[in-house]
Amino acid sequence: MSTGGPLLLGRREYPATARLVMAIVNRTPDSFYDKGLTWAEDAALDRVRQVVDEGADLVDIGGIKAAPGVEVDAAEEKRRVVGFVEQVRSEFPDLVISVDTWRSEVARAVCEVGADVINDAWGGADPGLPAVAAEFGASLVCTHTGGVTPRTRPHRIEYDDVVDDARRSLLAQAERAEAAGVDRRRVVIDPAHDFGKNTWHSLEVTRRLEELTALGRPVLVSLSNKDFVGEALDRPVGERLTGTLAATALCAWKGAQVYRVHEAPQTRQVLDLVSVVAGDLPPARTVRGLA
């Protein structure tokens, strides 16, 4: 089994064998999955409390849905997330807080109020993000999107070898981040299933994920209820949990360390079981055959 590398998030350091649940908290009225369930600030704060109770290691707060839709400028994105991050930091002083944004202006604003991680889901579309992460000592998630424009769907995108393209792109982004002053242990790489990819590409990345974890860098995967899961099993968005958990187990065995998810408790159980089988955690109890 391949693993990535040691990981720093906020004030916490995790070993290469850690498998962390990053729970999604959408501050959007039009998310593909929850359809605005946590658009209201009080509902979003309740969601944070819930996932912390369910065993999430960190939360990922986003103010813009990934898919095409109503234009959300930087000012509106900040209105949706900055004050909310400040509230979460106040109530949960030790919680690792990530913000899903590709804009350095927004990243700076959320880091000023306590965010620990900048989750750049659009592959370095704003080259100013690494400098912000370095300035605030934040972690940075680098993603492979094939160079597509933020908030656009892939259309007939082709790669000679999608995994090789991801390796080269992610290494280049990681090296730029380190050159800007981001601690190597704070740079996370994400092959970005579905982003700039069709289903065949996402399946190939999953099948060969050890080629990314073998790079010795922390790897994040965002698999939760994605289209590649739905198309693989012919299931609509609301019926993709089983497929998501299967993909999660596969990626866990291949060494991914962080899992961005909607369903935190189910993911926690899958990751803990993989960790127990791998010998990275002891079983919670062992009485069978011993009494």
Asked if the structure places residue 197 within a domain, the reply is yes
Q: How far is CA 108 from the centre of its chain?
A: 19
Residue 196 to residue 251: CA distance in whole angstroms: 19
Asked if the structure places residue 291 within a domain, the reply is no
Asked if the structure places residue 285 within a domain, the reply is no
Q: Any bridge partners for residue 141, and if so which?
A: 119, 188
Residue 77 to residue 69: CA distance in whole angstroms: 14
Residue 3: predicted pLDDT: 65
Closest CA to 81 of 103, 61, 65, 97: 61
Asked if the structure places residue 45 within a domain, the reply is yes
Asked if the structure places residue 288 within a domain, the reply is no
3-class SS of residue 176 = helix
Residue 208: predicted pLDDT: 98
Asked if the structure places residue 287 within a domain, the reply is no
Average pLDDT, the chain: 95
The proportion of the chain whose per-residue pLDDT surpasses 70, expressed as a percent, equals 98
Residue 257, class by beta-carbon neighbours within 10 Å (0-12 exposed, 13-18 middle, 19+ buried)? buried
Picking from 32-46, 175-189, 239-253, which range would have the lowest pLDDT averaged per residue? 32-46
Q: What is the DSSP string of 60-114?
A: EEESS-SSS-S---HHHHHHHHHHHHHHHHHH-TTSEEEEE-S-HHHHHHHHHTT
Model confidence pLDDT, tens digit, residues 208-222: 999 999 999 999 999
| Amino acid sitting at position 48 | V
> How many folded domains does the chain comprise?
1
Residue 266 has pLDDT above 80, yes or no: yes
Model confidence pLDDT, tens digit, residues 141-185: 999 999 999 989 888 999 999 999 999 999 999 999 999 999 999
Range of the domain at 219: 7-278
Residue 1: predicted pLDDT: 61
Residue 179 to residue 176: CA distance in whole angstroms: 5
Q: Which tokens go with 76?
A: 């509106």
Asked if the structure places residue 289 within a domain, the reply is no
Asked if the structure places residue 106 within a domain, the reply is yes
Distances (CA, A) of 243 to 233, 237, 268, 276: 7, 11, 15, 21
Residue 46: predicted pLDDT: 97
Residue 61 to residue 25: CA distance in whole angstroms: 5
CATH of the domain at 207: 3.20.20.20
Predicted model pTM: 0.95
For the chain, first and last CA: distance in Å?
33
Active site residues: 226, 260
